[in-house]
Amino acid sequence: MWNMARVNMGFLALLCLPTLFFDVLVLSHKSNIYERSAVPRAAPRSVARMDGDVIIGALFSVHHQPSAEKVADRKCGDVREQYGIQRVEAMFHALDRINADPFLLPNISLGCEIRDSCWHSSVALEQSIEFIRDSLISIRDDKDGSKWCIDGTPSNQPPPSKKPIAGVIGPGSSSVAIQVQNLLQLFNIPQIAYSATSIDLSDKTLFKYFLRVVPSDTLQARAMLDIVKRYNWTYVSAVHTEGNYGESGMEAFKELATQEGLCIAHSDKIYSNAGEKHFDRLLKKLRERLPKARVVVCFCEGMTVRGLLMAMRRLGVAGGEFLLIGSDGWADRDEVVEGYEQEAEGGITMKLQSEEVKSFDDYFLKLRLDTNSRNPWFPEFWQYRFQCRLAGHPQEMKKYKKVCSGDLGNESLHENYVQDSKMGFVINAIYAMAHGLHDMHSELCPSQPGLCEAMDPIDGSKLLDYLLKTTFRGVSGEDVYFDENGDTPGRYDIMNLQSVGDGSYDYQQVGSWHEGILNIDDWKLWMNNSDMVRSVCSEPCSRGQIKVIRKGEVSCCWICTTCKDNEIVRDEFTCQACDLGWWPDDDLEGCVPLPLNYLDWSDVESIVAVCLSCVGILVTLWVILIFVVYRDTPVVKSSSRELCYIILVGVLLGYICPFTLIAYPTVASCYLQRLLVGLSAAMCYSALVTKTNRIARILAGSKKKICTKKPRFMSAWAQVFISFFLISLQLILEITLIILEPPLPVKYYPSIREVYLICNTSTVGMVAPLGYNGLLIMSCTYYAFKTRNVPANFNEAKYIAFTMYTTCIIWLAFVPIYFGSNYKIITTSFSVSLSVTVALGCMFSPKMYIIIAKPERNVRSAFTTSDVVRMHVGDGQAAQQSKSILNMFRRKKNKNGSTKCKTPSEGGECVAQTVCACEETGSRLESDGGHQATN
């Protein structure tokens, strides 16, 4: 494997040889070849080294990244305490503890080579080349017998502190880590990151030798989205730092937001070292989305957040206008918000879950300037921290006027000390490398102290396998292990920057996110706010409303439209109408059957109709009884009793009709409805037509001057036959309609809100029987009108006429009410009842009065015609003739008791205005409305 590594190294050497050769030429002092490295156009950079049997490389951002103006020169910024000096000292501290641990890598010491990455990819790549620089320019073929070149002289021993590195810890930035990994994996050098969280780094096809003790940004994006969802912030702005960390993290957040239905009002990116104009322009774009998008999700590095806060101060943006949700690049770092706490107040940040390392505090706070010789950047840090200068020191910073006290001890690291929030991850990364080497040594060099040949040199590909399998308890007590992608589980603390009084601010932990489970104390989060922040484009729609997306708007911006009364909310964008007979439930989420309505016996109109029918039935039965009892009296005989019985039966059926109409619709009740409504009216009006027709024919026959014979079909049974014939026509019509349209109970929908159970009577099924009855009513009315002026003792025709006039009014009112309203059943019921009531009252009341109250008038003489009969048709001259003239035509009895008309030879003739019969009849005509009464 080492041979393969040598081939790779040789190949890269050919590629990098021109640059490296130029590096060698610009070295000013050979004596410093192992202490300092130089690159074109860049000042020499310090390197911290610690000797050991196995060397571990480390990249820490000891200084801030170069400003935009100095990127080309790769000139780094000011020294950093937490991200720089503390992490350098954490490396030394961790290695001291590991080397002192008899159970971890016994008899093997770990050393380190620490370089400054300046949080910039070009600087970090330059320093990574330095890690393998000596190997690239000094490895020779094994056959030459010389491996190393020290000061241009071949040597079989490596130079001091110039052993090949077994692995690299860091760097902190994801974009920088990607650049470094692209180089290190060519030489099979494992890399363990302590804060690089980019999603791309989980791809083992591209970054095989990369591992990390922090979770992937996929989990962080999920955690940030869970916070946004918890408070229903559906419309947010998004900002991310230019580079792999911000871009991949924000891409993951946007993808998850789209899946969850959240909308991004505005998305933008910016470099951490961008100028003020760029930050001002970005902030103005964010303000354009106010007041709807008040929440800004910032997947940013710390300095990007600080630049945004500075822009808020310049533009006079109050802290309450925006609520920032920051990633772990902000975390709980004081340097991000220092001096701009008012603008950052209320900000919610993600902090990788890690406890403070107490042992490091004890170590770091005891460091002194005169005793700390392992850290070449410590003098620079000391001057920067206490704003003083070390007079006469090679790294003297003359910009400070105050002279450092040095050994006098006036400066103390305890002042404003804050431990790096990722300190635990830095130490865990170092321990992970140590445990991997320990497991490798235990298997390849069992029971052998020190390194064996199998680990000299260390095979990076084998070490990677051991690293992926290693498991140990971290510095904070948590279990540390790697999955197949080299990632660790996601655990975050949720921090909130709050005012703690007296104008000071501090980060407070308000919740946590552990492997997909979010826990937040809402009271702690909003304790300093009167109202919870809202960040929505449109307010949620009320119940029964749907969202209508405006054209050109995102899915979170809508107008609410109310569904129709018969519609449910199928989804948030669609109304769906319920089927006929169904209605939305109370929640408007489903359809339920409408209650089935039908005319109930307890309804007021039903009670009235039934009471009327009951009274009518009793009265009708009483009339029938009286007619049967007094069937041989003149008043009954003169009323065409057979036809009266038919009429009374029709009236009785008419009163029974409301019961069939009001009853719960069944097949039987529907059959009875179809039959009785038309049949009852047909029986009444068929008999009346027959009666009025007979009267009209008898009186019309009186116009003849010579009576030759009796009119035809004048007998009682002939009249009954004619009535039944007319009734049978109605019955045939109804049976035909029943066959064509069988009566069944069906649902009737007068409106979408109502459903009634009725019988399926169609328009034809109703109009045809009604039309036939109307024909009978018109015919009867016509004959009744013709015979309205009969003598006083022949006045039944007048009652018939009044009955028919009233009936016409009832049925003329029935037609528009029936076809123009939803009360068809009750309308039909009352119309039928009123019709038969009029017939019963007008035609039979006078007869009942005579039979019951005036029996003395129930004699034959009261029903004999003796006066002139005045016909509506004719010349009407009879009324103008004197009684003396009329007396000339009176009938005389012969000896046989028969009445004869005078013949023309006797000087007389039958007059048209006199009711007479021919001699051969052998009987008299009584004015009984058309019936013959046998002597």
Task: Annotate 828-865 with three-state secondary structure.
Answer: HHHHHHHHHHHHHHHHHHHHHHHHHHCHHHCCHHHHCC
Other Cβ atoms less than 10 A from the Cβ of 604: the count is 7
CB burial class (10 A; 0-12, 13-18, 19+) of residue 198? buried
pLDDT at 749: 86
- Give the whole-angstrom CA distance, residue 913 versus residue 900: 16
Residue 387 contacts residue 402 (beta carbons within 8 Å)? yes
Strands 295-299 and 323-326: parallel
Picking from 235, 188, 156, the residue whose alpha carbon sits closest to that of residue 12 is 188
Strands 235-241 and 295-299: parallel
Which amino acid makes up residue 225?
A: L
- Give the whole-angstrom CA distance, residue 569 versus residue 586: 12
Strand, helix or coil at 786? Answer: helix
> 906: which DSSP letter?
G
Other Cβ atoms less than 10 A from the Cβ of 853: the count is 9
pLDDT at 300: 93
Q: Is 427 left (phi over 0), alpha (psi -120 to 50) or beta?
A: alpha
Picking from 555, 563, 501, 557, the residue whose alpha carbon sits closest to that of residue 527 is 501
Which residue is it, tokens 């528009």? Answer: 816
**H helix or E strand, kind and range, residue 26:** none
Q: Is the dihedral of CA 612, 613, 618, 620 positive or negative?
A: positive
Residue 301 contacts residue 173 (beta carbons within 8 Å)? yes
Give the CA-trace dihedral at 924, 925, 926, 927, to 10 degrees: -160
Residue 773 contacts residue 685 (beta carbons within 8 Å)? yes
- Give the whole-angstrom CA distance, residue 110 versus residue 765: 107
CB burial class (10 A; 0-12, 13-18, 19+) of residue 664? exposed
CB burial class (10 A; 0-12, 13-18, 19+) of residue 887? exposed
- Give the whole-angstrom CA distance, residue 471 versus residue 491: 17
| DSSP alpha helix (H) spans, 132-261 | 133-138, 174-184, 217-230, 244-259
Give the CA-trace dihedral at 745, 750, 755, 757, to 10 degrees: -20
- Give the whole-angstrom CA distance, residue 765 versus residue 771: 10
- Give the whole-angstrom CA distance, residue 430 versus residue 94: 7
Q: Computed over its alpha carbons, how large is the radius of gyration of the chain?
A: 58
Strand, helix or coil at 758? Answer: strand
Q: CB under 8 Å to 600, separation ≥6 — which residues?
A: 606
Six-digit token string for 254 = 């946007």
Task: Look up the pTM and report it.
Answer: 0.58
C-alpha count within 13 angstroms, C-beta hemisphere, residue 557 = 14
pLDDT at 52: 92
- Give the whole-angstrom CA distance, residue 589 versus residue 576: 10
Distance from the first to the final alpha carbon of the chain: 149
- Give the whole-angstrom CA distance, residue 780 versus residue 143: 140
pLDDT, tens digit (0-9, with 9 covering 90-100), for 504-542: 899 999 999 998 899 999 888 887 676 788 898 888 888
Six-digit token string for 368 = 């002194």
Which residue positions in the chain have pLDDT lower than 70? 1-43, 134-162, 406-409, 528, 530, 700-711, 713, 788-797, 822, 860-935
CA distances 715 to 636, 860, 879, 924, Å, are 16, 19, 30, 14
CA distances 841 to 640, 802, 806, 905, Å, are 17, 11, 11, 51
CA distances 597 to 463, 665, 671, Å, are 83, 11, 20
Q: C-alpha angle with apex 453: 447 to 458, nearest 5 degrees?
A: 105
pLDDT at 884: 37
Which residue is it, tokens 């006290």? Answer: 405
Could you write out the DSSP letters of every residue in 691-736? HHHHHHHHHHHTT-SS--SPPSS-SHHHHHHHHHHHHHHHHHHHHH
pLDDT at 926: 37
Which amino acid makes up residue 105?
A: L
Which residue is it, tokens 């103008």? Answer: 880
| DSSP alpha helix (H) spans, 521-595 | 522-525
CA 599 from centre of chain = 40
Strand, helix or coil at 55? Answer: strand
Domain architecture of the chain: domains with CATH? 47-214+422-481 (3.40.50.2300), 217-355+491-525 (3.40.50.2300), 545-593 (2.10.50.30), 604-702+713-863 (1.20.1070.10), 882-914 (no CATH)
